[in-house]
Amino acid sequence: MEKNILNIDLSSAKEELIEIYPKKVAKKRSKAIVVADPDNIPEIQANVRTIPGIITQRGCTYAGCKGVVLGPTRDIINITHGPIGCGYYSWLTRRNQTRPSENEPNFMTYCFSTDMQDSNIVFGGEQKLKDAIREAYELFHPKAIAVFSTCPVGLIGDDVHRVARQMKEEIGNGINIFGFSCEGYRGVSQSAGHHIANNQLFRNLIGNDDTVNATHKYRINVLGEYNIGGDAFVIDELFNKCGIQVVATMSGNSTVEQFETAHTADLNLVMCHRSINYVAEMLETSFGIPWMKSNFIGADACAKSLRKVGKYFGDPELIARIEEVIAEEMIPVIEAREKAKLKTNGKTAMLFVGGSRAHHYQELFDELGITTLCAGYEFGHRDDYEGRRVIPSIQIDADSRNIEQITVTKDETRYKPRKTEEELKALEAEGLEFNGYDGMMAEMKKGSLVIDDLSHYEMEKLIEKYHPDVFCAGIKEKYCVQKMGIPLKQLHNYDSGGPYAGFAGAVNFYKDIEQIACCSIWKEMKAPWESEEYVEAVYAAV
C-alpha cells in the first residue's frame, strides 16, 4: 500500500519523542516540535541554545563563518587563528567546487592555521598570527587575507582586527586583510557565523570596485548558493543561456572581484535565506538593489524563479528567451521524472538539513511523488519556518547581542534605485514579492511534522516508528541511520553526487533517489543480535 500523509498519523509523535526527557527539558523541546498547518501556521521555538547533553546536528559559529560563507572563495587566503583541532574546518570539507582560469590562484585546497600551542594560550598569540600572515603573503601574494577567531582566541583576548589593520599597513601593495570575531561559542549555532561573515563582507569587500564588466544587458547576484557538487556552475550556465549575467555568487565559485563589484548588479536572488539575507538587505539599503527569494532546487521551482526574473526586467524578448530555455530544459526532465516516478511514487522522506535545504528539497521530492513526513533545520530562525512576517515579534536575546549589529546607510554617491516605488508596486500587483519569504511551513503538507534542532534520540525514534524510505541529513547522522536499514542522502555535501540545482540537477537527483530509495539491500540491514543466536543469562543469588 502506498504511504502518504493522509494515512500516516504523526499527531502522537510529539508526545512520544519528549516523554523520556526530564520535565523541564520536555517542556522546552515541545516548543520546538509542531504539526504543520499551512492555513494556520503555528509558532515554533527556534534559534535557542541546544540543551546540554543532547546530541545535536549543529555546528559552531566559526564553522558557519569560515566553513560556509568564506570557504568557497578561491582567491582569499583564510587563516584560522587557533589550535590545529579547529584548523580541520579550515580545510574545505563540503565539496564546494570552483573553476579558476589558468592564471588565477586557487587557495581552496590549502589549510591555513596558526596552530596555537599552550604557550600562545598563556602569553597571547597575536605575534604568531602576524608571522602567519607574513608567511602567507610571501608564499602566495594573495589579493586578500581573512583571519578567523576560534574559541581560545576569544577567551584569551587576541584582537584579530587590530592585527589585520597592522599587517595591512605593514605589507601594503593594495592587499586587503580583515578579521572575523567568530569564536565558536559566540552564537547558538553556525547561523551566528553567517551573520558575522555577512557583516564583515559588506564592511571590507562589497562596494570596493565600481567597475562594470557587463557581458549581458541584465545583471544579477545569486546569494546563498555555495556550489556544492557544482550547483553554481549549473545556475550560471542557465542564466547565461537566458541572456542574463551573474555578477556575483555568494559564495560558491566566488572571487574577491565578485564581492567587490556585487553592488553593480540590478537584482539580488536569495536562495539560502538564513545564511545571506543580511547582505541582501544591506545591498538594498546602501545601493538600491531589490531582492527576491528564489529556489533553483527542483525543475518546477527553477522554472518559477526564472520567470520571476523575466517579469522583473520586463523585456518581452528576454521573457520569450526564458520560456524557450525552460521548454528545452524540461524535455529530459520530464522523461527522467516519469521514469523514476514509476518506482518512487508513494514513498516517504524526512529532511533535517541546513537553513534552506530542508525546505527546497521538498520540491524535488514532490516531483517524484515522495511525501515529506518530517522536516526541520539545524540553525533556522522562526522566520525561516513561519515567514518574515514574524520578525517584528522575535525578541532579541543575549545570544543575539553577541553578534555585532552594523549600521548601513544610503551611499550618498552610489545609491541608485533599480526600480521606482511605482514600478515595484506594479510588479507586486502582478505577483512578484520583494523582501519576502513565507517560510518552510507555508509549503508543507498539513499534518506533517516540523522539528527544530533534531536530537539524535528523536531521530532514532522517528525512524523506528515511521520507517521512511529515505532520510536526508549530514555526515554525523549518515552511518547511524544506515545501520538502522534506512538510506541516507547527505544534502550538505551530496556524498559523491550532484549537481542537484537547475534542470540538469533535477535529473541527477531523480536518478540518485530512485537508486537509493528503491534498493532492497537496506531491508537486509540487521544488527548481529537480530540475525544470530546468542546465550542470555541472569545472575543467581548466592
Instruction: Identify whether 302 is a catalytic site residue.
Output: no
Residue 346 lies in a domain: no
- Domain of residue 67, CATH code: 3.40.50.1980
Could you tell me which residues come within 8 angstroms of residue 420 by beta carbon, excluding any fewer than 6 positions away?
Answer: none
What are residue 450's DSSP bridge partners? 34, 375
Which of 13, 32, 60, 340 does the annotation list as catalytic?
60
**What's the pLDDT at 542?**
64
Which of 29, 81, 194, 274 does the annotation list as catalytic?
194
Instruction: Identify whether 63 is a catalytic site residue.
Output: yes
**What's the pLDDT at 93?**
65
Q: What percent of the chain has pLDDT over 90?
A: 83
**What's the pLDDT at 250?**
95
Copy the grid coordinates of residue 409.
546607510
Instruction: Identify whether 94 is a catalytic site residue.
Output: yes
Q: What is the pTM of this model?
A: 0.93
| Domain extent at residue 65 | 61-184
Residue 417 lies in a domain: no
**What's the pLDDT at 324?**
98
Helices (H), 31-125: 61-62, 84-87, 118-123
Residue 110 lies in a domain: yes
Residue 233 lies in a domain: no
Average pLDDT over every residue of 208-232: 96
**pLDDT confidence bin for 90, thresholds 50/70/90:** low
Residue 174 lies in a domain: yes
Burial label, 430 (beta-carbon count in 10 A; 0-12, 13-18, 19+): exposed
**What's the pLDDT at 2?**
40
**What's the pLDDT at 420?**
94
Tell how far CA 122 is from the center of its chain: 36
Which of 94, 95, 357, 359 does the annotation list as catalytic?
94
Which of 36, 46, 63, 262 does the annotation list as catalytic?
63
Number of structural domains, the chain?
1
C-alpha distances (whole Å) from 269 to each of 155, 166, 249, 426 are 38, 36, 10, 19
Residue 305 lies in a domain: no
Residue 142 lies in a domain: yes
Instruction: Identify whether 46 is a catalytic site residue.
Output: no
**pLDDT confidence bin for 92, thresholds 50/70/90:** low
Residue 23 lies in a domain: no
Average pLDDT over every residue of 413-425: 95
